[in-house]
Amino acid sequence: MNDTIQIRKATIADAAIIAEFNSAMAFETERKHLDTDTINAGVSNLFKHPEYGFYIVAESDHRVCGCLLITYEWSDWRNGLIWWIQSVYIHPDYRRQGIYRQMYAFIKNLAKNENNVRGFRLYVEKENRIAQKTYESLGMRETVYKLYEELINIGKK
């Protein structure tokens, strides 16, 4: 393992490993098995639609060892964007080495170059205390909001 971690925006060439990491994360956190065709198409589709967001990857010795997704939420209250951090995954061999901290610093630096980013949000499993402590150590705080959803699959298998 190399001590040097490189953080960069992902490219379509990273799509397969990102999909693999998303599947691993879904199983680790929720014991869900994602449909391979759907997750591969979903990851690849983001690269065709940059208006939806972008991926960040961490590399060690030219091997992707972590990723996260940024999606956009328009905030009329702030007249700007909130960047949602999603699909955070660090390969088990690289955990607890500060890689997420480096990825977070990278996206904060990217946001400084934009004139309309007002902040960052993410959601985390209620039982994932390790991740929560990491986010808190970086200056994020728990909000007063609960998350509700209704998922629909109109025209999808």
Per the CATH hierarchy, to which homologous superfamily does domain 5-123 belong?
Answer: Gcn5-related N-acetyltransferase (GNAT) (3.40.630.30)
What would the two tokens of residue 140 be?
């994020």
Report whether pLDDT(2) > 70: no
Nearest to 95 by CA among 1, 22, 9, 30: 1
Contact 44, 15 (CB under 8 A): yes
What is the pairing mode between strands 117-122 and 80-90?
A: parallel
Report whether pLDDT(156) > 80: no
Q: How far apart are CA 137 and CA 141, in angstroms?
A: 9
Q: How far apart are CA 112 and CA 134, in angstroms?
A: 22
For residue 4, how far is the Cα from the chain centroid?
Answer: 21
| Proportion of the chain above pLDDT 70, given as a percent | 96
Q: What's the average model confidence in pLDDT over 44-72?
A: 96
The per-residue pLDDT for 91 is: 96
Q: What is the pLDDT of residues 101-122, one digit of tens each?
A: 999 999 999 999 999 999 999 9
Q: How far apart are CA 8 and CA 16, in angstroms?
A: 16
Q: What's the average model confidence in pLDDT over 22-33?
A: 92
The per-residue pLDDT for 30 is: 86
